[in-house]
Structure 1
Amino acid sequence: MEKPEEINSWKMFEGYNKRYKHFSPTLGCSMKFHIYFPPKSSSQKVPVLYWLSGLTCTDENFIAKAGAQRVASSEGIALVVLDTSPRGLNVEGEADSWDFGVGAGFYLNATQEKWKNWRMYDYVVKEIPKLLSDNFQNLDTSRASIFGHSMGGHGALTIYLKNLDKYKSVSAFSPIANPINCPWGQKAFSNYLGNNKSDWEEYDATCLVSKYSKVSATILIDQGDADNFLDQLMPHKFEETCRSLNVPLLLRWQPGYDHSYFFIATFMDDHIRHHAQALNL
């Protein structure tokens, strides 16, 4: 596997934001990602917290807007921030809409031939952890957690539930919690996965929590009650299923907050500390 090339570096809270590019064999294209290295990483291995972003985002939105580095620095956690889809493949129709194709990988492995490069699930779960462990000796990828926003919240929840042995904890901001029943999910799943609804259920957190219910760590979700996309997100469906199965969930409704990074930044410290508690046990 090709060694990632560092393309930018900025000092922040005594650690460093670094941006890298590499060729991804999984996706068949060049990809970029960010790592925030806390100061502790200069002298010892630190755990990893993966961030998955939402529709239209790249690896740059979170690192600049979320305000996560201050607490990641003090807690000694590396932040790994990934892109949301393959790029530069020039597949017909990949950029026709903002909610499908480029910037909208939905963290699944597409089964339809046209979208065969859209394998963000394998990229997140398999390729990136190996790339990190092979090239960054100061990262302890055996201690990992995952979180995300909107489409990335969907990705974090589904990836965590299917890989309870790989991640210590999960959290989400405004996740697409029941995508098989909302327009965003139905559009993505029908194109990437075809029309077999049982294939869709493999990437739906509300369906998966019934299948993988042996969750011990509390799932943290923050949701703004002024979010314009609540009809797409449907957190109540996920909450109802978790409650029926006694799956530990803390769903916090935040009055007046919307779907933006202003909302994310407001509650980011809580999420970093939620993961720090699990990662540093």
Structure 2
Amino acid sequence: MDTKPTEIGSSKMFGGYNKRYKHFSPTLGCSMNFHVYFPPSPSASHKFPVLYWLSGLTCTDENFIIKSGAQRVASSEGIALIAPDTSPRGLNVEGEADSWDFGVGAGFYVNAKQEKWKNWRMYDYVVKELPKLLSDNFPQLETSKASISGHSMGGHGALTIYLKNLDKYKSVSAFAPIVNPINCAWGQKAFTNYLGGSKSDWEEYDATSLIAKFHDLSATILIDQGGDDKFLHDQLLPHKFEEACRSANVPLLLRLQAGYDHSYYFISTFIDDHIRHHAQALRLP
């Protein structure tokens, strides 16, 4: 099985290229797809910093690339966009596709501890395997300069991965993230099945719990949240994260955007601000 990426699609956009790849993932035990948007290159030797985008429940590696419009500013800022899938696929584990909020398309960016779900190791895939794969196979990517962002379940992934790996990412942002999964139905269902009953294991993947461990984080965390998001009050709980950041003296820019929902219409409206937020951090030495 070929662990090296094979190109399976290419489309020109804003002078650069959206390219889709597949490879066999030893971490997940299955074939995986991911997208890279390569901006137009000023020279053959030029290296681009990277921004990882983690998508939400039910999404694949395609949603962000097709719907967000992020490529326009990524092109002008010279940032490569990396969009992995949201879970292992094709393993045919019993029950993996029984619901939209667990299993296939719902990896929650954790390393599962329960034997049945042992292949669900999206945390290691995003943090370890994918960066090494990119570094080994794409000399035009400067993977040592990376930032991370995401939406909903992917916003949860971006925040927790950033907080647990401050040496690996220059900045973080999120759209409508699940910031306190231990206290919402989506998170409780996923964590019970993937991680088991230990609340301390759950807290390791909960941004609101993790932020308490960090004092005087210097980089500002950017979060946009739609005011008319139907999941705002029962699943997303941004005020919990806001309180935790205030207590830990962590700089947070939480913007409640009136009238916006949970969709890519919302994301595409504000994505330029997020790309520029990361571009600024990625330009720092």
Shorter-chain TM-score tier: over 0.9
User: Do the aligned residues in 2 keep the contact of 1:52 with 1:155 (CA within 8 Å)?
Assistant: yes
1:250 to 248, 253, 256: 253
Give distance in 1, aligned partners of 2:126 and 2:215: 22
For structure 1, which segment, 207-216 or 219-228, has the greater mean C-alpha deviation from structure 2 after superposition? 207-216
Matches within 5 A, 1:211-222: 211-222=213-224
Q: Find the counterpart in structure 1 of residue 227 from structure 2.
A: 225
> Is the 1:41–1:138 contact (alpha carbons within 8 Å) kept by the matching residues of 2?
no
Output the CA distance in 2 between the equivalents of 1:127 and 1:48: 15
| Length, aligned pairs only | 281
1:16-55 mapped onto 2 (5 Å cutoff): 16-40=17-41, 43=44, 44-55=46-57
Equivalent position to 2:158, from 156, 159, 163 = 156
Match in the other structure for 2:110 = 108
Distance 1:257 1:137 in 2: 39
- The reply to whether residue 234 of structure 1 matches residue 230 of structure 2 is no
Q: Which amino acid aligns with 2:117?
A: W
Instruction: Report 1:174-189 matches (<5 A).
Output: 174-189=176-191
Task: State the distance in 2 between where 1:57 and 1:270 align.
Answer: 22
- 2:6 is aligned with what amino acid? E
Q: Distance in 2 between matches of 1:80 and 1:41?
A: 20
CA contact (8 A) 1:41 1:139 kept: no
SS at match of 1:39: coil
Deviations 1:121-141 (A, max 9, x none): 000000000000000000000
Q: In structure 2, what is the equivalent of residue 56 of structure 1?
A: 58
| Pairwise CA distance, 1:214 | 4.7
Contact 1:162 1:212 survives alignment (8 Å): no
Counterpart CA distance in 2 for 1:175 and 1:42 is 37
Aligned to 1:278, the other structure's residue is in SS state helix
Match for residue 267 of structure 2 among 264, 269, 277: 264
Letter in 2 for 1:36: Y
Mapped partners of 1:41, 1:138: distance in 2: 11
Q: Distance between the aligned counterparts of 2:219 and 2:58, measured in 1?
A: 30
Q: Which runs of 5+ in 1 are unaligned?
A: none
Which of 108, 120, 123 lines up with 2:122 in the alignment? 120
**C-alpha spacing 1:42/1:124, structure 2 compared with 1 (3 Å):** farther
Q: Which segments of 5 or more consecutive residues in structure 2 lack a partner in the other structure? A: none
The CA deviation at 1:216 is: 1.3
Alignment TM-score, normalising by the size of structure 2? 0.97
RMSD: 0.9
Q: Does the 8 Å contact 1:78/1:139 carry over to 2?
A: yes
> How far did 1:115 drift?
0.1
Q: Deviations over 1:21-43 (max 9, x none)?
A: 00000000000000000002753
What is the CA–CA distance in structure 2 between the aligned matches of 1:38 and 1:3, rounded to whole Å? 22
Tell me the TM-score normalised to structure 1 length. Answer: 0.99
The one-letter amino acid of 1:137's match is P
Matching residue's letter, 1:174: A
Residue correspondence of structure 1 range 166-205 to structure 2 within 5 A: 166-205=168-207
Contact kept, 8 Å, 1:27 with 1:119, in 2: the verdict is: yes
2:71 is aligned with 1:72: no
Measure, in 2, the Cα distance between the counterparts of 1:227 and 1:106.
Answer: 20
**Distance (Å, rounded) in 1 between the aligned partners of 2:230 and 2:78:** 35
How far, CA to CA, are the matches of 1:233 and 1:83 in structure 2?
21
2:195 is equivalent to residue 206 of structure 1: no
The secondary structure found in structure 2 opposite 1:40 is coil
The equivalent residue for 1:11 is 12
Identity of aligned residues (%): 82
Which deviates more, 192-201 or 33-42?
Answer: 33-42
Contact 2:180 2:241 in 1 (8 A): yes
- 1:126-145 pair list within 5 angstroms: 126-145=128-147
SS in 1 for 2:244: helix
Q: Aligned-pair distance for 1:252?
A: 0.3
How much does 1:245 deviate? Answer: 1.2
Q: 1:225 to 1:39 in 2, by over 3 A?
A: same
Deviation at 1:212, TM superposition (A): 3.2
Partner AA of 1:153 in structure 2: G
The answer as to whether partners of 1:41 and 1:76 remain within 8 angstroms in 2 is no
Deviations 1:31-76 (A, max 9, x none): 0000000002753001000000000000000000000000000000
1:96–1:159 Cα change, 3 Å: same
